[in-house]
Amino acid sequence: MEINKVMVIGAGQMGSGIAQVCAMAGFEVILQDLKDEFLDRGFSGIRKNLQRQADKEKITAAEMEETIGRLERSLSIESAREADLIIEAAVENMEIKKTIFAKLDELAQPHAILATNTSSLPITEIAAATDRPGKVIGMHFMNPVPVMKLVEIIRGLATEDSVYEAVEQMTHSLKKVPVEVNDFPGFVSNRILMPMINEAIFTLYEGVASREAIDEVMKLGMNHPMGPLTLADFIGLDTCLYIMETLHEGFGDDKYRPCPLLRKYVKAGWLGKKSGRGFYEYA
């Protein structure tokens, strides 16, 4: 199962990062989104990232231009007809993902692999929206994609061995480390990370310590590169809430109950770094 051309759906931070690493690894890449402004922002981010690497002499100017030359933009999901692997990196919403995958099932070549970058939603349920569940798989990249080495590869109930092997091999070619994970809510990364962040929010909510103190304890005491409240701001508090709700619903266990303070901040529009305010303020 040979992968030569990759299509990435969604030109946001995750999608553009995935497109960048695929292009850097030598794959022809179609980056697709609904509006020119989204694609402009995505391509601008890719160019800035590549320029930063060129300035640090991690890549040459020629390699930068070659990478950009392997990237193509598209406003139509019909471009899926050309791809061997399609990686969906759209908004984290089950109904939207199922709609996209049903359409991809109609358009993509019979051999094409349909992957989702979901961070918590069931691969089996997404696959059920298609008539090719054996060709559907999860590829959960970490943010920021060009920097982080891990890719969680999640099999759905019907995912074929050959599909897993092709995606695992492709992940190695991206200079990433693939880790096989079973299809449970939150997989491994978010099942462990998000309850920790949620508990940090409860610790603030209950007045145990200040935001700075909580982050400092985890940085200095546990050797984390950033504190959990800072990390939540970087991830996006709306995303944190959505994943906690997915865990709570998926397991039916109150240990995954989102903290009321997290809900309050999201309702206030305090979503973290992207909105200028979360647990901290951002200029």
Residue 57: CATH number of its domain: 3.40.50.720
Q: Can you say which residues are annotated as belonging to the binding site for NAD(+)?
A: 10-15, 33, 92, 97, 119, 143, 274
Residues 36 and 112 in one domain: yes
Q: Can you say which residues are annotated as belonging to the binding site?
A: 10-15, 33, 92, 97, 119, 143, 274
Chosen domain end from 155, 182, 209: 182
* Position 127 in a domain: yes
Mean pLDDT of 39-66: 96
Using the Cα atoms of residue 113, residue 118, residue 119 and residue 122 in order, give the sign of their dihedral. negative
Euclidean distance between CA atoms 32 and 88, whole angstroms: 10
Mean pLDDT of 205-224: 98
Residues 148 and 25 in one domain: yes
Instruction: Give the domain range for residue 214.
Output: 190-273
154 sits in which H/E element: strand 150-155
- Using a pLDDT cut of 70, give the percent of the chain over it: 100
The CATH number of residue 257's host domain is: 1.10.1040.10
* Position 49 in a domain: yes
Confidence of residue 1 (pLDDT cuts 50, 70, 90): confident
Chosen domain end from 142, 162, 182: 182
pLDDT value at 6 more than 80: yes
Q: Helix, strand, or coil here: 194? A: helix
* Position 168 in a domain: yes
pLDDT value at 41 more than 80: yes
So what's the pLDDT on residue 221?
A: 98
pTM of the model: 0.92
Task: Find out whether 125 and 97 touch, Cβ atoms under 8 Å.
Answer: no
Euclidean distance between CA atoms 132 and 129, whole angstroms: 9
Q: Is 263 exposed, middle or buried (0-12, 13-18, 19+ CB in 10 A)?
A: middle
My answer on whether omega of the bond before 144 falls inside 30° of 0, hence cis, is yes
Residues 177 and 252 in one domain: no
* Position 282 in a domain: no
With residues binned 3-state (H G I as helix, E B as strand, rest as coil), the percentages for the chain, rounded to 5, are 50, 15, 35
Catalytic residues: 119, 140, 152, 190
Confidence of residue 283 (pLDDT cuts 50, 70, 90): confident
Chosen domain end from 154, 182, 210: 182
Residues 113 and 141 in one domain: yes
Residues 154 and 62 in one domain: yes
Euclidean distance between CA atoms 2 and 186, whole angstroms: 29
Confidence of residue 206 (pLDDT cuts 50, 70, 90): very high
